[in-house]
Structure 1
Amino acid sequence: MRGAVVCAAIGLLLAAGCGGGDEPPAGPGMTIGIRFDQPGLGMRDPGGGFTGFDVDVAEYVAAQLGTDKRDITFVEARPADRETMLEQHKADLIVATYSITEARKQRVDFAGPYFVTGQSLLVRKTNSDIDGPESLNDSDWRLCSVTGSTPAQHVQANYAQSVTLEQRNSYRECVEALLKDEVDAVTSDDVILAGYATEQPDKLKVVGRPFSTERYGIGLRKGDTRRAQVTAALRAMIADGSWDRFVRDNVGRSGYQVQTRPEIVDDP
C-alpha cells in the first residue's frame, strides 16, 4: 500500500504514470512536433522561440487538454520522420503541415482537418516558362521537394516521365537550391510556398493554381484516446474565432487567400 502511495505521488510530480502505459498524460508537460523551417506556419526563431500558424494551433489545443504553453516542448518533425516520432513516443502530437492520407492512417490517427490547401510551384521571379502544373509536361524541368512529403509523392506518381525530382531534407534547402539555379522550381503546398515568396518577393513567386487537395491534420499515436479531445479543441478554436485570428496573424501577411474554414470531422 505504501509503495502504491509513493508511486502515485511521484507520478503526480513527474507527470508520468506508474504503469508505464502507452499513452502519456495530457499535462502538465507535452511534446509536440512542428516544422522549424516554414515561414508563417512553423518557424524556430534565432532566439530559440517558435512562431507560426501551426505553433498557435498546437498551443491552443494543448491548453484545451490542460497543458500551458510554457510546458510544451517543441521538437522538429521532418516529413519522413513524423510517423516514427509518434510510434516511438518522441512526440505526443504532430502539428506540422501534416496531410491526412490513407497510407498514413494505417500507422497513425488524425484529428482535423484544421487547414485545407493544395500543391503548387515556386519559381524564380524571372522565370516565365513555368506558370502552372501544365508546364511540367513541356520540358525536363528540375523540381525540388522534401523527402517523405505528399508533394514529392504526387510528382513521382504523376510527372515522373517529364521532370527530374530532387528530394532534400527541408524546403529551406530546396529554396536555396532554387536561388542558386540548381533547380527550376520548388513544389509544395501553396500556403508553404507563399511564406517563402514573402521572404524574398523580388526573387521568388508562386505560380499556377493548386493541383491537389491537402488536408492538414494533427497526428496522434494509433489508438490514442485523446483524439476526441483534440477534435473538440479544434472545433472550439474555429467557433470562438481563434482560427481566424491565427490565420490572419500568420498566413495573412503573405497575401495568401484562405477560401473557407475547414470542417472538423470525427474520423478525417
Structure 2
Amino acid sequence: MKVSKAGSALAIAAVLALTATACGSDKDSDSGSGDGKGKVVIGIKFDQPGVGLKTPDGKFTGFDVDVAKYVAKELGYKEDQIEFKKAPSAQREQLIKNGDVKFVVASYSINDKRKAEVDFAGPYFLAHQDLLVRADDNSITKPEDLNSKKLCSVTGSTSAQNVKEKLAPKADLAQRGGYSECLTGLENKAIDALTTDNSILAGYAAQAEHKGKFKLVGLKMSDENYGIGLKKGDKELQTKINAALKKMVEDGSWQKAVDANFGPAGYKAEPAPQITEGS
C-alpha cells in the first residue's frame, strides 16, 4: 500500500507539473483574451507615410498605427506587448486566415470580395481614390486622361482594378510590390501617375524629401471605407474592436490622430464614418 500511495503521489505531482507548464505557455502567447498577458500581433503597412510606416530606426508611425495601438490598449494590451507585422496588400487575407496576426489595420478597404474570406470591424476611416502626379504635369485632370498613360499601383490593391475596369481601360497599368516603387517610377518619369487612396498619397507628398515634387489631382474616384480585418466568425473580437473604435472617436483620440498624421499635408479628412460591420 505504501508503494501504491507513493506512486499515486508521484503521478499526481507529475500531472500538476504538466498543468502548470501548460498554463505558463498560455501566458507567453496571445490568447486573444485581452487580459494584458502575452502579446498581440497586428498587421500594418510598413511603407505608407502618414498611414503605416516603419522608420529607419525601427519605430512605427501613422494613423493606422495610432488606431492599432488604441484598439490594442482597449483589448488589454500594453504598448510593449504589441508586435507589428508587415501586411502587404496581397497578403492581408492570408495572414489573417493563417493566424499569423490577430487583426490587420492596413488601409484595408472593406468590400464584398474580401468579406467572403475575412470579417471586418469598423469602418474607422473614409478615404477616396485619387491620383498622384508630378507637380509640373497638367496633362492629367480626370480619370479618362489616364488612357495611354503609364499608371502604377500595388499588387492586390482595389485601386488599379477600379481604374482599369471602369475608368481608363486603355491605361498602361504597372503593378508593384509597394507604393515606394511606384513613387520612384513617378519621380524618374517611368510612370505618369500613381493611384491609391488620397490619404496614402497625401502622406507621400508630405514627406520632406518629396515636398514640391508631386501633387494630388483631387479626384474622388471611389469611396474607400477602411476596416480592421479579423478572422471570419470571430464575433467576440469584432464586437470589442467596434467598441474601441467608437470610444476612440468619442474621446477625441481619433481626431487627434487625424490631425497629427494628415494635417502637415493639408489633407482634409472626412468625418469619422458610422460603424456598420457586425451590426
Query: 8 Å contact 2:144–2:168 — kept in the other structure?
Result: no
Query: Which stretch of the first structure deviates more once superposed, 151-160 or 254-263?
Result: 151-160
Aligned partner (choices 143, 146, 149) of residue 154 of structure 2: 146
Gaps of 5+ in 1: 18-23
**Residue 234 (structure 2) pairs with residue 233 (structure 1):** no
Instruction: State the Cα distance separating 1:135 from its structure 2 match.
Output: 2.0
Amino acid at match of 1:13: K
Write 1 or 2 for the structure with the bigger share of helix.
Answer: 2
Counterpart mapping for 1:245-256 below 5 A? 245-256=256-267
Counterpart position of 1:185: 193
Q: For residues 261 and 271 of structure 2, what CA distance do their matches in structure 1 show?
A: 16
Identity %: 44
Counterpart position of 1:49: 59
Counterpart position of 1:10: 24
Instruction: State the Cα distance separating 1:266 from its structure 2 match.
Output: 4.1
TM-score, length of structure 2 as denominator length: 0.89
3-state SS of 1:259 partner = coil
Query: 8 Å contact 1:42–1:50 — kept in the other structure?
Result: yes
**Residue 83 (structure 2) pairs with residue 73 (structure 1):** yes
Gaps of 5+ in 2: 1-14
Counterpart position of 2:269: 258
TM-score, length of structure 1 as denominator length: 0.92
Residue-by-residue CA offset, 1:79-114 (whole Å, 9 max, x unaligned):
000000001111111000000000000110000000
Q: For residues 105 and 37 of structure 1, what CA distance do their matches in structure 2 show?
A: 24
Instruction: State the Cα distance separating 1:162 from its structure 2 match.
Output: 1.8
Q: For residues 154 and 36 of structure 1, what CA distance do their matches in structure 2 show?
A: 24
Largest Rg, 1 or 2: 2
Q: For residues 87 and 196 of structure 2, what CA distance do their matches in structure 1 show?
A: 16
**Residue 47 (structure 2) pairs with residue 37 (structure 1):** yes
Q: For residues 111 and 164 of structure 2, what CA distance do their matches in structure 1 show?
A: 16
Q: For residues 36 and 87 of structure 1, what CA distance do their matches in structure 2 show?
A: 20
**Residue 169 (structure 2) pairs with residue 161 (structure 1):** yes
Instruction: State the Cα distance separating 1:9 from its structure 2 match.
Output: 2.8
Query: 8 Å contact 1:155–1:165 — kept in the other structure?
Result: no
3-state SS of 2:233 partner = coil
3-state SS of 1:182 partner = coil
Runs of 4+ in 1 over 6 A off after TM superposition: none
**Residue 122 (structure 2) pairs with residue 112 (structure 1):** yes
Instruction: State the Cα distance separating 1:15 from its structure 2 match.
Output: 3.3
Amino acid at match of 1:122: L
Q: For residues 206 and 266 of structure 1, what CA distance do their matches in structure 2 show?
A: 30
Counterpart mapping for 1:98-137 below 5 A? 98-136=108-146
3-state SS of 2:244 partner = helix
Instruction: State the Cα distance separating 1:169 from its structure 2 match.
Output: 0.4
**Aligned-pair Cα RMSD in Å:** 1.6
